[in-house]
Amino acid sequence: MARYTGPKVKLSRRVGAPIADIPKHTAKRQLVPNGIHGYRGRRLRDYGVRLNEKQKLRYHYGVLEKQFRITLAEASRRKGNTGELLLQILERRLDNVLRRAGVVRTIWAARQMVAHGHVKLNGRKIDRPSAQVSVGDVISFKEKVHTLIRDSMESIVGHQVPEWIEFTPAELTVKVIALPSSDQVPFDVNTNLVIEFYR
């Protein structure tokens, strides 16, 4: 399976926005392009603006181009606003739910935890980070990663769990209690530009 394994801060720098909520990505100096002149005077045309917005969304959720196209096709098939449905599908990915609950610091750590078989969905082991989580689903963890999760939670003190997720720290369980809305996504992206890119 193909996946990006290179430097992640380079992706934040490329799109000009932090793609992860950790200091390494959110520091102002990290978003300035490299080099003596640092892309001075570079202006994007319409195509470049739309491409940049699409890449920003892809990098934030750790999704490859083919997966992203499939997700967009699924969102456009459903009834409703395609942009909001796209964000809803991406937010309900298993790896993203773990990140939003504050169990891990980054989407990449969440993917690794799921892929290594440490996560259970409704009591059954699951190893697909892209699995869609529905309302009422309960996510739990194998006992051997409980200490790792608690250490990770201590390193991100002050993390705000979104309203559509119910996290119980004592039992280390995550429950999805509602569908996420676009205003609950803590990432600034213009989905209209993303959809226009593919038209």
**pLDDT, tens digit, for every residue of 177-186?**
999 888 888 8
DSSP 130-175: TPBPPTT-EEEE-GGGHHHHHHHHHHTTTPPPPTTEEEETTTTEEE
Can you give the pLDDT at residue 184?
83
- Given a contact cutoff of 8 angstroms between Cβ atoms, the answer to whether 19 and 59 are in contact is yes
**What is the model's pLDDT at position 170?**
87
Amino acid letter, residue 21 = D
Our measurement of the distance from residue 11's CA atom to the centroid of its chain's CA atoms, rounded to an integer in Å, reads 14
Task: Quick: pLDDT tens for 94-132.
Answer: 999 999 998 998 899 999 999 999 999 998 999 999 999
What's phi and psi for 119, nearest 5 deg? -115, 140
Q: Point out which residues pair with 4 in neighbouring strands.
A: none
Tens of pLDDT, residue by residue over 48-90, are 889 999 999 999 999 999 999 999 999 999 999 999 999 999 9
* Mutual angle of helices 46-61 and 65-77, in 10-degree steps: 100
What domains sit in the chain, N to C, each tagged with a CATH number?
Answer: 9-89+186-197 (1.10.1050.10), 93-178 (3.10.290.10)
Using the predicted structure, report yes or no on whether residue 38 has a pLDDT greater than 70.
no
Are 4 and 61 contacting, i.e. CB atoms less than 8 angstroms apart? Answer: no
Structure tokens, 82: 């395609």
* The model's pTM: 0.87
